[in-house]
Amino acid sequence: MRLQFDRLAPIWESMRRPDSLASFERALEEVEETPGRALDVGTGTGAGAFTIARRFPESEVVGVDLAPAMLAEARELTPPELAGRVRFEQADASRLPYDDHSFDLLSLANMIPFFDEIDRVLAPGGWVIFSFSGGAETPIWVPPERIRAELSRHGFSDFADFQVGRGTSVLARKRGPG
């Protein structure tokens, strides 16, 4: 999979539709607190990470991807005004190299979810967004009912579904302390 995305990296931005993150942006509007740290899993060329950083100007944002060529493109595309708050690191989403409860917001756009890892690295009271730019037609798509069932099993609640254009998103909150 890494090699496939490495090959696609130089043309990835030209393949994205202008509204590919519309439902993602809509879900971000419902996040009630500014996250101290946010993680964009499967960041590709960084569009999700940049969107989070613009929405929450005080947040530190980390974008991770398995494909080094995607990360190189993301670094190249990083706007100067975001360079101090957004960084990109190579990581496998099934074994994230972060301590437990390291992030207040996790996002996955068109990404395979590893629910145990999401639960592990997300802080209590934190938010997770799953977004699919083409809804059920997205090549990597997980039905919302499966997302809700898996997250419920891990103690998530406050679910919200969004549909903007062709895209869909699911937002959920991890049970807080106490």
pLDDT of residue 20: 77
pLDDT of residue 18: 64
Closest residue by Cα to residue 86 from 97, 100, 71, 98 = 71
pLDDT of residue 58: 97
pLDDT of residue 14: 47
Q: Residue 62 belongs to a domain with what CATH number? A: 3.40.50.150
Positions in the chain short of pLDDT 70? 1-19, 178
Q: How many domains does the chain have?
A: 1
pLDDT of residue 143: 94
Structural domain span for residue 168: 2-174
Amino acid of residue 12: W
